[in-house]
Amino acid sequence: MVISLSSWYRYLGLKVDYSVSLVRKPYKSGQMTFREAIDAGLKNFFLGKLTYFYWNSAGEEMAPTIGARRGTLLVRKGPTYVFTGDVVLLRDPMKSHNNFLVRRLAGMGGYHEMVPKDEKEEPFVLEKNQCWVSSDNENLKPEEANDSRNFGPVHMTDIVGRVIYSMRTAEDHGPVQNSNSGMKADSEVLEIELDLAEMKIIHLGKDKSVRY
């Protein structure tokens, strides 16, 4: 596949933005010197990627988007540029910091009015830096969905990335349906960083290791 020069320019611009975002906060807080921030930013720009593979093995909450019970996902790093309607990877608020969930971002703080699990309670507006996540599986009851209807709002810093590609099986895979803004922002990233051959190897290896 031939990648256009304009796609490379846009992709490199995204890498610059992400590399700067990684070092901005630690530099401003005094955790890094200027030289350390420059070195870390350059290292990420030249050696890092904007995506990583994630093996999702638990639950049917995101079927059919992700698939029933398991799938290999390509996740774009960082919570900075997520939009309502995106499928996101987030830290599980009900478990340890190292457990993650895949859910759809249904609302963001400041202007989205959400309805609690208990219909007797009044709807409320999310606070700044809060978001509301939901499952895609419409066959599940609210109490089975394990989303914000059960555990409430989630802080935006708990979002670790946007899911941009899903491999349900080695033959069944494709881009994840995110918001229009999200899909537009990810087009060059998918074009340059998606390696289906590598993704299939990882998926088949993980799939064989699952025990039911």
pLDDT at position 119 over 80: no
Residue 103 annotated as catalytic? yes
Token couple for 192: 């340059």
Annotated active-site residue in 70, 76, 91, 103: 103
pLDDT at position 210 over 50: no
- Model confidence pLDDT, tens digit, residues 126-185: 888 899 999 999 888 888 888 998 888 999 999 999 999 999 888 899 999 999 999 999
> What's the count of helices (H) and strands (E) in the chain, helices before strands?
5, 10
Least confident of 28-37, 61-70, 162-171: 61-70
pLDDT at position 24 over 60: yes
Q: Which residue has the higher pLDDT, 79 or 126?
A: 126
Q: Which residue has the higher pLDDT, 98 or 202?
A: 202
Q: What's the confidence (pLDDT) of residue 142?
A: 80
Q: Which residue has the higher pLDDT, 143 or 115?
A: 143
Nearest to residue 37, comparing CAs of 53, 49, 26, 52? 26
Mean pLDDT of 95-106: 87
Least confident of 89-98, 105-114, 115-124, 181-190: 115-124
Fold of the domain built from segment(s) 50-209: Umud Fragment, subunit A (2.10.109)
Q: Tokens 């030249």 sit at which residue?
A: 46
Q: What's the confidence (pLDDT) of residue 40?
A: 96
Q: What's the confidence (pLDDT) of residue 35?
A: 96
Q: Tokens 């555990």 sit at which residue?
A: 151
Question: What's the chain's average pLDDT?
Answer: 88
Q: Tokens 């979002």 sit at which residue?
A: 159
Q: Which residues are CB-neighbours of 85 under 8 A, at least 6 positions away? A: 104, 105, 178, 179, 180, 182
pLDDT at position 112 over 90: no
What percentage of the chain has pLDDT greater than the value 70?
89
pLDDT at position 98 over 70: yes
pLDDT at position 212 over 50: no
Annotated active-site residue in 60, 61, 70, 149: 61
pLDDT at position 66 over 90: no
Q: What's the confidence (pLDDT) of residue 113?
A: 67
Contacts 24+ apart (CB under 8 A), 115-119: 116/149, 117/142, 117/143, 117/149, 117/150
Residue 61 annotated as catalytic? yes
3-state secondary structure 102-132: EEEEEEECCCCEECCCCCCCCCEECCCCEEE
